[in-house]
């Protein structure tokens, strides 16, 4: 049976964060059920925590809004949470964070759709990058964001209006393995469908891919139907992504490791 020493892993995470995140992503798919379960539980906490800390505090016309405590950070809204606290105490059960409400600052002006390329070699570093990118996008825009994994066909892991927890989406991504061809055009059309449900004036599609299209034809026409696109590509394999971004006329950035994803997303979403 495999083992996961959390103290040793914490040291590795501090010294070599990208190596640690890649290792954890691989362990989340281990054949040993106990190790796999432990790794996914730890990954859910670590990926979401790193994403939350890496997403920049938003400036501008923000407003204080209520949100579920299990998916957002903020001050406890006692008035909205009091009944659940009383019920939990009376029944002797632990408080469920999903029942509590916090007040948090939100900018309702931007909606996000994250497209995660799951074709080819979806493991290790790329899997870790996908997981932390999803968490960063969801913490940035908790209730106006969607996540779609794609290869030959798009798979919606979180719909635009859903308040699904970031840790659950991370778990789904960690269960994925690379397969199939790369149909970027179909993924972009799926993003357009999701973003159509949002009323935000700014709608951004984040493409996490090397953009090496092998099915579905040229993706540029589908990209031009979207309001705004930004691209994150693996630094060691970014030539096709750079070419795609140039032809579409969008911003892009090379990503050398998973730990850089939250900051890269924040920078790409900042005003030009």
User: In Å, how far are 71, 156, 228 from 74, measured between CA atoms?
Assistant: 10, 28, 29
Cα-flanking dihedrals φ and ψ of residue 238, to 5°?
A: -115, 5
In whole angstroms, give the CA distance from residue 148 to residue 207.
Answer: 10
Tokens of 227: 């309001």
d(CA 113, CA 194): 7
Confidence (pLDDT) at 193: 98
Run of H or E including 66: strand 63-68
Q: Please give the chain's pLDDT, 272 residues, in tens.
A: 456 777 788 888 888 888 888 888 888 878 888 888 888 888 878 888 888 776 644 433 456 678 787 777 678 888 888 888 888 888 888 888 888 888 876 655 889 999 999 987 666 788 888 888 888 888 777 678 999 999 999 999 999 988 888 888 988 888 887 788 999 999 999 999 999 999 899 999 999 999 999 999 999 999 999 999 999 999 999 999 999 999 999 999 999 988 889 889 988 988 76
Answer yes or no: pTM beyond 0.85. no
Residue pair 25/127 in contact (Cβ under 8 Å)? The answer is: yes
DSSP letters for 199-235: --SEEEEEEES-----SSS-SHHHHTTSSEEEEEEET
Please choose, from the candidates 135, 141, 68, 74, the residue with its C-alpha nearest in 3D space to the C-alpha of residue 107.
141
Domains of the chain listed by start with CATH number: 63-106 (no CATH), 110-269 (3.40.50.410)
Residues 6+ apart with CB under 8 A from 251: 230, 231, 245, 268, 272
d(CA 88, CA 82) in angstroms, rounded, equals 10
- DSSP-assigned letters across all residues of 158-200: E-TT----HHHHHHHHHT----S---HHHHHHHHHHHHTT---
How would you class 157 by CB atoms within 10 Å of its CB: exposed for 0-12, middle for 13-18, buried for 19 or more?
buried
For position 61, what pLDDT does the model report?
A: 43
The pair of three-digit structure tokens given for residue 228, joined into one six-digit string: 């705004």
- Rounded (to 5) percent helix, strand, coil in the chain: 45, 20, 35
| The pLDDT value given to residue 1 | 44
**pLDDT (0 to 100) of residue 251:** 97
What number of other Cβ atoms are within 10 A of residue 7's Cβ?
A: 7
What count of Cα atoms within 13 Å lies in the side-chain half-sphere of residue 127? 27
pLDDT at residue 228, rounded to an integer: 97
Q: Nearest 5 degrees, angle CA 51-CA 233-CA 206?
A: 60
């Amino acid at each position: 049976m495999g083992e996961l020493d959390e103290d040793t892993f914490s040291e590795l995470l501090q010294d070599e964060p990208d190596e640690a995140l890649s290792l954890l992503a691989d362990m989340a798919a281990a054949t040993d059920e106990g190790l796999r379960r432990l790794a996914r539980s730890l990954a859910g906490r670590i990926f979401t925590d790193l994403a939350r800390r890496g997403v920049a505090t938003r400036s501008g016309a923000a407003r204080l809004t209520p949100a579920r405590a299990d998916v957002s950070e903020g001050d406890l809204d006692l008035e909205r949470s009091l009944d659940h606290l009383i019920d939990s105490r009376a029944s002797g059960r632990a408080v469920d964070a999903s029942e509590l409400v916090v007040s948090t600052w939100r900018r309702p002006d931007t909606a996000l759709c994250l497209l995660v390329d799951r074709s080819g070699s979806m493991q290790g570093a790329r899997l870790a990058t996908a997981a932390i990118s999803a968490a960063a996008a969801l913490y940035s825009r908790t209730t106006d964001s969607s996540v779609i994994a794609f290869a030959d066909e798009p798979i919606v892991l979180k719909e635009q209006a859903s308040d699904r927890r970031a840790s659950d989406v991370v778990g789904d991504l960690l269960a994925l393995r690379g397969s199939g061809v790369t149909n970027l055009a179909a993924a972009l059309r799926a993003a357009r469908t999701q973003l159509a449900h949002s009323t935000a004036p700014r709608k951004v599609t984040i493409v996490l891919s090397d953009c090496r299209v092998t099915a579905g034809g040229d993706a540029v026409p589908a990209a031009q139907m979207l309001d705004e696109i930004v691209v994150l590509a693996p630094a060691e394999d970014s030539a096709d992504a750079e070419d795609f971004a140039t032809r579409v006329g969008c911003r892009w950035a090379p990503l050398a490791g998973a730990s850089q994803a939250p900051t890269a997303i924040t920078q790409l979403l900042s005003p030009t």
